[in-house]
């Protein structure tokens, strides 16, 4: 009887309380705010992410967060490092996963049709930026480890920055124990380090130079 009470009452109530207390960003939904809190607890106590790893976003106004993509933990790390909600661009096949679609939809994720019309996602992301939101993406378009051959980043991030005049905040992710893994990466303890590149205004330079700067900031050259 005692184990039943602990399993079905004490633990769920504890998780609800901790998630609510740890919430930082307001996602416009109590459920997503609670998940935000749980993500921050996970990243702090399982992956060693502390307050020094905050991404210096403006309090209001549009911004673009970009990072290297090495595991399924990466979106959690970016959420935990930001005090504002993020509109992630994700592959449509991931967005439409039966058990996760409700979460991606509620969190405002933007599905990218990589085989059809990716420009539709760019338009939606541009609208979000024009409304003062923060868009996050992994410009390589897939998980890419340092040991793999260099892979050219997608040009969509530079176009978004130029069209919206939003500042890009590059982030380099290191120290993830579950590199290359997706579902298991969040539960494998790590000592994560986020290295922040200098905020970048792409409209002031050529697109090629913008992409080169992002590649440098999120690539292995930026390892600490």
Residues whose CB is less than 8 angstroms from the CB of residue 117 and which lie 6 or more positions away in sequence, other chains included: none
Q: State which residues of the chain have pLDDT below 50.
A: 2-9
Answer whether residue 81 is part of any domain. yes
Residue 6 maps to a domain: no
Does residue 13 sit within a domain? no
Q: 7 in a domain, yes or no? A: no
Q: Give how many domains the chain has, as a whole number.
A: 1
User: Is residue 179 in some structural domain?
Assistant: yes
pLDDT of residue 15: 62
- Residue 99 in domain: yes
pLDDT at 6: 46
Q: How much is the pLDDT for 149?
A: 72
In a domain, 121, yes or no: yes
Instruction: Determine the structural domain holding residue 164 and report its residue range.
Output: 55-222
The pLDDT value recorded for residue 123 is 96
**Per-residue model confidence (pLDDT) at position 14:** 64
Residue 56, pLDDT score: 96
Residue 26 lies in a domain: no
Q: What is the pLDDT of residue 10?
A: 53
CATH number, position 152: 3.40.1010.10
- Specify the pLDDT at position 117: 79
Position 162 scores a pLDDT of 93
Stated pTM of the model: 0.93
């Amino acid at each position: 009887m005692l184990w039943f009470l602990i399993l079905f009452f004490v633990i769920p109530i504890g998780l609800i309380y901790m998630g609510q207390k740890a919430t930082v960003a307001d996602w416009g939904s109590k459920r997503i705010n609670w998940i935000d809190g749980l993500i921050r607890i996970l990243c702090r106590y399982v992956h060693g992410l502390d307050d020094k790893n905050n991404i210096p976003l403006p309090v209001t106004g549009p911004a673009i967060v970009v990072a290297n993509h090495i595991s399924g933990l990466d979106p959690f790390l970016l959420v935990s490092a930001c005090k504002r909600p993020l509109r992630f661009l994700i592959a449509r096949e991931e967005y439409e996963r039966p058990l996760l679609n409700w979460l991606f939809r509620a969190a405002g994720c933007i599905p990218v049709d990589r085989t059809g019309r990716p420009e539709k996602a760019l338009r939606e992301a541009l609208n979000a930026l024009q409304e003062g939101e923060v868009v996050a993406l992994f410009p390589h378009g897939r998980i890419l480890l340092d040991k793999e051959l260099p892979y050219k980043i997608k040009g969509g991030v530079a176009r978004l920055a130029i069209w919206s005049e939003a500042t890009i905040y590059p982030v380099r992710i290191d120290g993830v124990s579950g590199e290359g893994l997706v579902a298991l990466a969040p539960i494998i303890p790590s000592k994560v380090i986020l290295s922040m590149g200098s905020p970048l205004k792409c409209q002031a330079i050529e697109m090629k130079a913008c992409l080169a700067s992002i590649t440098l900031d999120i690539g292995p050259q930026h390892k600490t």
